[in-house]
């Protein structure tokens, strides 16, 4: 493990401080100790307080470290993500103003996203959680598209079906544009207002005006809120009546609505979102899609704070695809209030077979631990 000095505006959520940061301001003194994991709010605060540079930890990792991306790939992914949002906003406005457009714009966007996924499938998922956009609906559609295409690729869908899947994802919520000023939250996974429940059909009507779009994509747009148990909308379809592409979008939509909701106050961490989605009492989602979802989108994503059975606290560095319940972690606390010199543990290693994760710790609880240490 090493360290490097970076500019504050190059800092990213999930980075870990290698040297302490002490800030004196009108509200008093704020201390961030080595081992402290940065969140977006911390980075903004440090910039506001005039901190220009920080030291962060770097990790030695082999080719299997999926959380370490080359700068060139990150630049490519960031550009692809932003271009997708811009293209989707332009397409939507063309549909509304002109009533029609060509499929080519969408096809190019999907090809670009698939190209990045083929290089490093995790990098776009990471960027989707860091990107802030005023155009929530367009950003959400791109987020769902990235997640769904990762699942579709893992399900080994034929190329044409992957294209239809990506097309349906990019268009699935365009019918919500009419309601973009109305707030909706995570409760709408189970209970949405009557007007919101009509949006899949409205989205399909808008999508139908795109020259060259397939019926397969249109069906997926119309059915993306249908659930296997018949509790979905707008038609209340059940298993056997819902297309495979719509089943993939349903899982991707639910996950992204939970982790990146319209109202940030309703956000849940990725681990809790996954727990909610795979909860067997609901029977909403296609079991085959769920299995691929769990194996491809880590139960404990990088940056998750976790409590171990031995009282230690750690942050997840990256997941083990073959054993998602036992990720690679960086231990930073011996217990709730006693920090330790950070060290790496691979929970899938047999030497740590007696160690396991008991639960996820909220960032609020981490801050309480830090506040306690500052008072000592």
DSSP for 108-145, please give it: HHHHHHHHHHHH-HHHHHHHHHH---S-HHHHHHHHHH
Three-class SS of residue 185?
coil
Domain 2-58 matching CATH 3.90.105.10: the answer reads: yes
Antiparallel, parallel or unpaired: β 210-211 and 101-102: parallel
pLDDT at 369: 52
The per-residue pLDDT for range 254-293, each reduced to its tens digit, is 999 888 887 778 888 777 788 788 877 767 999 999 988 8
Spatial CB neighbours of 250, under 8 Å, sequence gap ≥ 6: 224, 225, 226, 227, 232, 242, 284, 285, 286, 289
Antiparallel, parallel or unpaired: β 21-25 and 28-32: antiparallel
The radius of gyration computed from the CA coordinates of the chain, to the nearest angstrom, equals 22
pLDDT at 123: 54
CA dihedral (252, 258, 259, 262) in degrees, to 10, reads 110
Three-class SS of residue 340?
strand
Please tell me the distance from the alpha carbon of residue 297 to that of residue 292, in angstroms, as a whole number. Answer: 8
**Structural contact between residues 41 and 4, judged by C-beta atoms closer than 8 angstroms:** no
**Structural contact between residues 150 and 294, judged by C-beta atoms closer than 8 angstroms:** no
- Which part of the chain is CATH 1.10.3210.10? 71-296
Please tell me the distance from the alpha carbon of residue 328 to that of residue 325, in angstroms, as a whole number. Answer: 10
CA atoms within 13 A on the CB side of 331: 20
pLDDT at 17: 83
Angle between helix 287-296 and 244-259 (nearest 10): 50
Spatial CB neighbours of 25, under 8 Å, sequence gap ≥ 6: 49
Q: Residues 292-317, buried b or exposed e (16+ Cβ, 10 A)?
A: bbebbbbbbbbbbbbbbeeebbbbbb
Task: Spell out, as residue ranges, where the chain has pLDDT lower than 70.
Answer: 1-2, 22-31, 59-76, 99-100, 119-134, 178-193, 195, 282, 298, 362-376
The β-bridge partners of 2 are 58
pLDDT at 92: 81
**Structural contact between residues 217 and 168, judged by C-beta atoms closer than 8 angstroms:** yes
CA atoms within 13 A on the CB side of 194: 0
The CATH class of 71-296 is mainly alpha
DSSP string, 239-308: TTTS-HHHHHHHHHHHHHHHHS-SSGGG---HHHHHHHHH-TTT--S-HHHHHHHHHHS-SS-TT-EEEE
Three-class SS of residue 68?
coil
pLDDT at 180: 54
């Amino acid at each position: 493990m090493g360290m490097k000095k970076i500019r504050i505006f190059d800092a990213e959520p999930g980075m870990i401080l290698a040297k302490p940061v002490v800030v004196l301001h009108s509200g008093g003194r704020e201390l961030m100790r080595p081992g402290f994991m940065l969140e977006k709010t911390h980075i903004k605060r440090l910039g506001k307080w005039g901190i220009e540079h920080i030291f962060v930890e770097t990790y030695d990792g082999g080719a299997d470290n999926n959380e370490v991306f080359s700068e060139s790939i990150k630049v490519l992914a960031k550009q692809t993500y932003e271009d997708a949002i811009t293209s989707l906003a332009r397409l939507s406005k063309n549909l509304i103003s002109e009533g029609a457009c060509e499929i080519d714009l969408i096809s190019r966007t999907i090809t670009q996203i698939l190209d990045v996924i083929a290089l490093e499938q995790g990098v776009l998922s990471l960027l989707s959680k860091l990107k802030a956009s005023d155009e929530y609906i367009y950003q959400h559609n791109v987020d769902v598209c990235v997640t769904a295409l990762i699942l579709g690729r893992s399900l080994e869908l034929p190329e044409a079906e992957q294209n239809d899947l990506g097309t349906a994802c990019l268009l699935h919520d365009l019918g919500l544009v009419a309601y973009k000023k109305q707030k909706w939250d995570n409760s709408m996974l189970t209970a949405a207002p009557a007007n919101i429940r009509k949006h899949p059909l409205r989205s399909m009507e808008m999508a139908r005006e795109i020259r060259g779009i397939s019926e397969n994509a249109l069906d997926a747009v119309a059915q993306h809120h249908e659930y296997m148990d018949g509790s979905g909308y707008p038609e209340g379809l059940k298993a056997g009546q819902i297309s495979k592409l719509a089943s993939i979008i349903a899982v991707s939509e639910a996950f992204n609505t939970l982790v990146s909701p319209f109202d940030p106050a309703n956000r849940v961490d990725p681990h809790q979102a996954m727990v909610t989605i795979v909860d067997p009492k609901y029977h909403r989602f296609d079991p085959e899609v769920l299995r691929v979802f769990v194996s491809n989108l880590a139960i404990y994503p990088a940056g998750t704070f976790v409590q171990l059975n031995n009282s230690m606290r750690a942050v997840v560095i990256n997941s083990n695809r073959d054993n998602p319940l036992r990720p690679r972690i960086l231990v930073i606390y011996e217990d709730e209030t006693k920090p330790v010199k950070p060290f790496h543990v691979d929970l899938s290693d047999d030497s740590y077979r007696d160690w396991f994760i008991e639960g996820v710790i909220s960032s609020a609880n981490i801050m309480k631990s830090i506040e306690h240490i500052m008072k000592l």
